[in-house]
């Protein structure tokens, strides 16, 4: 498990679209450039979170699977407003 993150989200046991919805909510309270660590068990979360990051412009720093658990490290994007 990574240690350099600002917040952690446990999305284990949640099925699509709940992991992405919880990530959106968790990122909303973080400041720009802060890091969110997510762990999920839904195999579809890999594809869903990659798409979410691309669409929202949040940076997916890492995405990997170990022993049926999917780990994601996401950096909150910097606003361009």
Helices vs strands, H then E, count in the chain: 2, 4
Nearest to 56 by CA among 39, 42, 75: 75
Q: Which of 7, 12, 14, 16 is catalytic?
A: 16
Termini Cα distance of the chain: 34
Is 16 a residue of the active site? Answer: yes
Q: Return the active site residues.
A: 16
């Amino acid at each position: 498990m990574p240690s350099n993150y600002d917040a952690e989200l446990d999305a284990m046991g949640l099925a699509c679209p709940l992991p992405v919805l919880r990530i959106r909510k968790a990122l909303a309270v973080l400041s720009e450039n802060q890091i969110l660590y997510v762990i999920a068990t839904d195999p579809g979360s890999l594809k869903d979170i990659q798409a979410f990051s691309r669409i929202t412009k949040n940076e997916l720093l890492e995405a990997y699977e170990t022993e049926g658990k999917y780990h994601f490290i996401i950096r909150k994007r910097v606003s361009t407003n």
